[in-house]
Structure 1
Amino acid sequence: MGTYAAVVLAGGAARRMGGVDKPALPVGGRPMRDRVLTAVTDATPRVLVGAADAVPAGVLVVREDPPGGGPVAAAAAGLALLDPDAGLVALLAADLPLLTRAAIGDLLNHLDEENVDTEPAGGGSAPASPAHSGLAPAHGGFASPARSGPGDGERRPDGVCFVDGDGRRQSLCGVWRVAALRAAVDRLTVERGGSLAGAPVRALLAGLVVREVAWSGEGPPPWFDCDTDEDVRRAEEWAR
């Protein structure tokens, strides 16, 4: 699978949870952000974007510009710490307490698979089925299943991410080619007049070719994120 870096985004406002430091909330006795960092313990480097009092040894910490500027600004700050020749990066939300190394390995393996024919960017918008694993251009809304046929081009995927049972992409539980993300950051910075504050992730990934993967492993879904107190309680039950 080769080497990869990891950028973990921990700067959200957690408005639905009263503005607490959500990634620091414990699940299974450990802060959620530490559980995510453990899932990528073999990544080099590991970068945490956001405020943190203490992090595991060897983890780099940086703040997005401006602080609280959202996931795209945070992703840009994390990417800036990677070597110029970095190849792959796991881009992850910090509130994924059920993420495992096995799930990361699954993503890396799918990114290494041979290319398949894809539909041109801007194709249909039918939801992907839970068993879907293919390539489709990134866009807003549900994922598009890849199709092949006369006139379709062939392009290697720019990244891979999980989709949930309803076919929704979990874009911040994925692995991406660093060059593709950096080009997307540059494009979006120009489009937004120099500021990435408040930019949505779907705008960053627009035009990228994404391989979508349904979780087929054992245990709870690794893309499960904790946006509410009830989500944290549910994750705690799964983590027992």
Structure 2
Amino acid sequence: MRVHDGASDAAGASTAPDTAGGPGVGDARHVYDAVILAGGRAERLGGRDKPGMLVGGRSLVERVAAAVPDAARLVVVGPRRAEPAHAVFTREDPPGSGPIPALRAALPEVSAPWVALLAGDMPFLRPAHIAALSRAARAAGTGAVLVDAEGRPQWLAGMWAVPPLTRALDAYRGRSLRGLLGPLEPATVRPPADPGGMAAWFDCDTMDDLQRAREALAAAGNGDPMNVLAEWTTRMCQELGIDPERVDRDRILDLTKEVAHGVARPAAPLTAYLLGLAEGAGTAPADAVERITRLAREWQREN
């Protein structure tokens, strides 16, 4: 595989028309669709809805979707959710069975000649990275993938020509993306890190990964909604006489998102208020957040 240095492409890719052929972000003649795989089991997160977890005030899957704003169609393989609102949702059979069945479920929804294949847990992926992949894929003819600092291909961060991908998938009987995509001999792109030191291919598999991503986005600033939340949390703590160190903001936001999705949107702020009352009264159990999250999921299944 030929390695492209993505320093110029990924750091400052232009959206000017790409006249040389192949996919090109910002050029209507080079149309691509995007597929986000968001239906895994998230075993290292205790089976939580990983793509729906908040990082920097937005869910992981929303952040990945923001990296492909020019996609003609956005296909999300995973449970239906409110966001991204413009996405087409589909499910692998059976749910949680892996990336190959997920790709099989997604490709019938793809109509563009090129497709970006992305994991639903990469909060630092940017449109410039997709543009760099597009140019490298055009040069290779079949596709391109990002590589990490050690040069390892990241198979869920790539751009692919749909006809050869479809033929390969039809003939493939294995279970790994490497086994499917490697023989297509894609170009590779090594992107630079974000100013905060986070790589485009960084994914959130564990709670430590999530915390690291949250801290990096909070430190980066740049008008991120999480900075507004941080300022508002501090102001509210001052008004209410609460130690800010006691407020696990992201955990509460994750909880209210679970309740809004599993019960009803108005139930989310009410739940946070009731939890606050219980905390203040000293009656909330130590695992109150986990209990309420479990209750919201049971409510969704039962109703």
TM-score by length of 1: 0.75
Q: Which residue is equivalent to 2:285? A: none
Cα contact 2:124–2:200 (8 A) shared by 1: yes
Matches within 5 A, 1:83-102: 83=111, 86-102=112-128
What is aligned with 2:80? Answer: 52
Matched, 1:204 2:180: yes
Q: Would you say the 8 A contact 1:157–1:209 is kept in 2?
A: no
Counterpart CA distance in 1 for 2:90 and 2:35 is 10
After superposition, the C-alpha distances for 1:108-140 in whole angstroms (9 at most, x for unaligned) are: 122223xxxxxxxxxxxxxxxxxxxxxxxxxxx
Larger strand proportion of the pair: 1
Q: Identify the match of residue 36 of structure 1 among 64, 70, 84.
A: 64
Q: How many residues matched?
A: 188
Equivalent-residue separation in structure 2 for 1:217 and 1:68 (angstroms): 31
Unaligned 5+ runs, structure 1:
114-155, 193-198
Give how far 1:101 is off: 0.8
For the residue of structure 1 that corresponds to 2:66, the secondary structure is helix
SS at match of 2:204: coil
Q: How far did residue 52 of structure 1 move?
A: 2.9
Sequence identity (%): 43
Structure 2 counterpart of 1:177, from 140, 155, 161: 161
Quote how far apart the aligned CAs of 1:67 are.
1.2
- What's the counterpart of residue 109 of structure 1? 135
Corresponding residue of 2:150 = 166
Relative contact order, higher structure (CA 8 A, sep 6+): 1
Q: What amino acid maps onto 1:6 in structure 2?
A: A
CA distance change for structure 1 residues 206 and 102 in 2, over 3 Å: closer, same or farther?
closer
1:56 deviation in Å? 2.4
Find the counterpart in structure 2 of residue 229 from structure 1.
207
Give the match's secondary structure for 2:186.
strand
Q: Distance in 2 between matches of 1:90 and 1:177?
A: 9
* Deviation at residue 218 of structure 1 after TM alignment: 4.3
The 1:215/1:206 distance shift into structure 2, 3 A limit, reads closer
- Out of 89, 97, 103, the position equivalent to 1:69 is 97
Alignment of 1:142-157 (within 5 A): 156-157=140-141
| CA distances 1:75-110 after superposition (whole Å, capped 9, x unpaired) | 111111112xx2110000000111111111111122
Equivalent-residue separation in structure 1 for 2:206 and 2:86 (angstroms): 30
| Cα distance in 1 between the residues matched to 2:167 and 2:150 | 30
Q: One-letter code of the match for 1:58?
A: H
Structure 1 match to 2:240: none
- TM-score normalised by the chain length of structure 2: 0.60
Once the two structures are superposed, residues 14-48 of structure 1 have per-residue CA deviations (whole angstroms, 9 ceiling, x without a partner) of 11111101000100000000111111121011000
Given candidates 182, 190, 213, the residue that maps to 2:189 is 213
Deviation, structure 1 residue 217: 6.0
Kindly report structure 1 stretches of 4+ aligned residues shifted beyond 4 Å: none
**Distance (Å, rounded) in 2 between the aligned partners of 1:216 and 1:200:** 27
Distance in 1, Cα, partners of 2:194 & 2:211:
20
More helix by share: 2
